[in-house]
Structure 1
Amino acid sequence: METFKNIDFYTAKKPLALSLGMFDGVHKGHQFIISHLNKIAKEESLESALLTFWPHPRTFFDPDCELKLLNTLEEKISLLEKNGIQNLFLQKFDDDFRNLTGEEFVRQILIEKLNVKYLIIGYDHTFGKDKSGDFNLLQKLSAELDFTVAQLPAVDFHDKHISSTQIRNALSNGNILKANEMLGYNYSLSGKVIDGKKIGRTIGYPTANLEVDSLKLLPKNGAYIVEVFHKNKFYKGMMSIGTNPTVEGKTKTVEVYILDFDKDIYGETLTLNFRDFLHEEIKFENLEKLIERLDEDKILTEKFEF
């Protein structure tokens, strides 16, 4: 997959089959669009392409918003490549771009700049200043500008449309199984192992503290069963997200206890896949009660079918 981080310098004129949007999560709804896009590209002798935005437009319009994303930019690029996209265009969302009307965007960006011959959009997609671009506008312009446009229906999960917002809500409620089903893969995060308070090692449960991208959405505070990948090797793990109230912690941390693992990995990067929710964050009466619960969690993690 070729990734173009500044389309101002893009000069290729190869005809494209393209879709556009944030694609946060690259979930089953996005995968449906991408699959159709790749099929059309092959049938029409075009190259498949996506145009996405960075940063998220919502953070541009409201810099104080606390929107967290399902994917870091690196994760999104990796997921899109795995789904077979040939070209990825990253459009910086700035004042110049936000002021393009829907029609200007189609003419100047999609047709003149990118040479789009087949455009696919989702069921509710709008674009351009004041959301002036939609499927009706695209149909109107398609004959004049010589491109084909198609609008695909939503993909449903339990009678609701799959969306990035739905998945964020599921994760914020600790509903890992629901989120994973809508994603079509296990929600994951990566982080560098950093120094912590080292309390875990004093109670037989040494943890790796992770430094996670500040834009990445963390599921709700609590304990989770996770898959841990270190240097492409898989381990079972128990993750804790929260403030460690039993030891009067104040700062939110992300920690993982890795089963059957004893290596010095400070400064290294771990990737974790969320598999299930164990329990809410708990303030125990004492460390003995905490250890009892960790022992129970370990048994559940060992028995979990990965």
Structure 2
Amino acid sequence: MKIQENFERTSSQPSLALSIGMFDGVHRGHQRIIQKLNHIAGVRNLESAILTFWPHPRKIFNPTDDLKLLNTIEEKKYLLSKDGLQNLILKEFDEKFRNLSGEEFVKQVIVDQLKVKHLIIGHDHTFGKNKSGDFSLLQRMGPELGFEVEQVEAVNYKDFHISSTQIRNALSMGDIISANEMLGYHYSISGKVIHGKKIGRTIGYPTANIEVDNLKLLPKNGAYIVDVFVKNQHHKGMLSIGTNPTVGGTEKTVEVYLLDFDEDIYEEEISVNFRDFLHEEIKFENLEELIKRLDEDRERTTKFIF
């Protein structure tokens, strides 16, 4: 997959079959759009591409917004590449860009800069200042400016449309099963293993503390069954998100216990896939109660079919 920043394209590059959006999560709805892009690109001798923005536009419109994302930019690149996308165009969402009207966006960006011949948008996509651009505008301008446009219907899950917001809501409630089904893959976090308070090793459950990107959405505080990938090896694990209230903790940490594992992995990069929710964060009366619950969690995790 070719990655271009701020429309660094030349006249010799192929015309595009393009979609626009944040594609946060690269969920099943996004995957349907990518499949259509790749198909159209193959049929019309174009290249498939997505135009996305960094930082998230909500951070520009409201700098105090504490929005957490389903993907870091590196995770998004990996997921889009894995789905077969040929081009990812990253555009800084700055003041000048946000003030383009819908018509200006179509003429200056879609046609003049990106040379789009086929545009695919999601069922509810709008663009341009004050959301002045929509499917109707594209249908009107397309024939005149030489591009075709189509709108992709939403992908449903249960009784609602799959969206990045619905997935964030599921994760915030600890509903890992629903989040994973909407994503079409297992939600994950990754980061470097850093030093913690090392309390776990004193009770027979040594944990690896993970330094997670501060823009990454963490699921609800609690305990989870997870896949753990470290040093190119897979392990079953139990992950805790929270403040460790039993031992008087106050700062949120992400800690994972790897079953049947006893190696020094400080400073190693570690990746964790969420598989199921074990229970809410609990403040136990003493360490004995904590150990008893950890033993129960370990038994459930051991029996879990990965």
TM bin, normalised by shorter chain, reads: over 0.9
The reply on whether 1:193 has 2:200 as its aligned counterpart is no
Count of paired positions = 305
Shift of 1:58: 0.4
Q: CA deviation at 1:216?
A: 0.2
Root-mean-square deviation over aligned CA pairs: 0.7
Aligned to 2:74: 74
Q: Give the secondary structure class of the aligned counterpart of 2:60.
A: helix
1:249 partnered with 2:249: yes
Taking the aligned partners of 1:68 and 1:11, their CA distance within structure 2 comes to 35
Question: Gapped runs of 5+ residues in structure 2?
Answer: none
Encode CA deviations 1:220-273: one digit per residue, 9 max, x unaligned. Answer: 000000000012210000000000000010000000000111111111110000
Taking the aligned partners of 1:2 and 1:267, their CA distance within structure 2 comes to: 30
| Deviation string, structure 1 residues 35-74 (Cα, Å, up to 9, x no partner) | 1111111111110000001110001111111100000000
Q: Are residues 1:110 and 2:110 paired?
A: yes
TM-fit CA distance, 1:135 = 0.4
The amino acid that maps onto 1:232 is N
Whole-Å separation in 1 of the counterparts to 2:260 and 2:83: 33
1:282 aligns with 2:282: yes
Please name the residue that 1:49 is paired with: 49
1:133 aligns with 2:133: yes
| Cα drift, residue 10 of structure 1 | 2.3
- The separation in 2 between residues aligned to 1:102 and 1:53, in whole angstroms, is 16
Counterpart for residue 163 of structure 1:
163
Q: Summarize deviations over 1:86-124 as a string: whole Å, max 9, x none.
A: 000001000010011111111111111111000000000
Q: Distance in 2 between matches of 1:6 and 1:288?
A: 57
Q: Distance in 1 between matches of 2:233 and 2:116?
A: 42
Q: AA paired with 1:100?
A: L
Distance (Å, rounded) in 1 between the aligned partners of 2:14 and 2:41? 12
Shift of 1:34: 0.7
How far apart, in 2, do the equivalents of 1:97 and 1:6 lie? 11
For 1:98 and 1:237, locate their aligned partners in 2 and report how far apart those are by CA, in whole Å.
Answer: 44
- Provide the C-alpha distance between the structure 2 equivalents of 1:266 and 1:174, rounded to a whole number of angstroms: 28
Identity percentage of aligned residues: 69
Q: CA deviation at 1:5?
A: 2.2
Structure 1: which 5+ runs fail to align?
none
**1:200 CA displacement:** 0.2
Alpha-carbon separation, structure 1, partners of 2:275 and 2:195: 25
* Structure 1 position 153, deviation (Å): 0.6
| Cα distance between partner residues in 2 of 1:84 and 1:110 | 22
Matching of residue 19 in structure 1 with residue 28 in structure 2: no
1:42 aligned counterpart, secondary structure: helix
In 2: Cα distance, 1:123 partner to 1:62 partner: 25
Matched to 1:282, the amino acid is I
2:187 is matched by which residue type in structure 1? Y
- Measure, in 2, the Cα distance between the counterparts of 1:191 and 1:83: 23
SS at match of 1:30: helix
Q: Give the counterpart letter for 1:192 in structure 2.
A: K
Correspondence list, 1:256-275, <5 A: 256-275=256-275
1:10 is matched with 9
2:150 is matched with which residue? 150
CA distance in 1, matches of 2:53, 2:156: 25
Provide TM-score, normalisation by structure 1.
Answer: 0.99
1:301 alignment partner in structure 2: 301
The alignment partner of 2:202 has SS state of helix
Corresponding letter in the other structure for 2:22: M
Task: Tell me the residue number matched to 1:99.
Answer: 99
Matched, 1:39 2:39: yes
* 2:304 aligned partner, one-letter code: F
Structure 2 residue matching 1:239: 3-state secondary structure: strand
Counterpart code for 2:37: L
User: Residues 191-230 of structure 1: matches in 2 within 5 Å?
Assistant: 191-230=191-230
What TM-score comes out, normalization by structure 2 length? 0.99
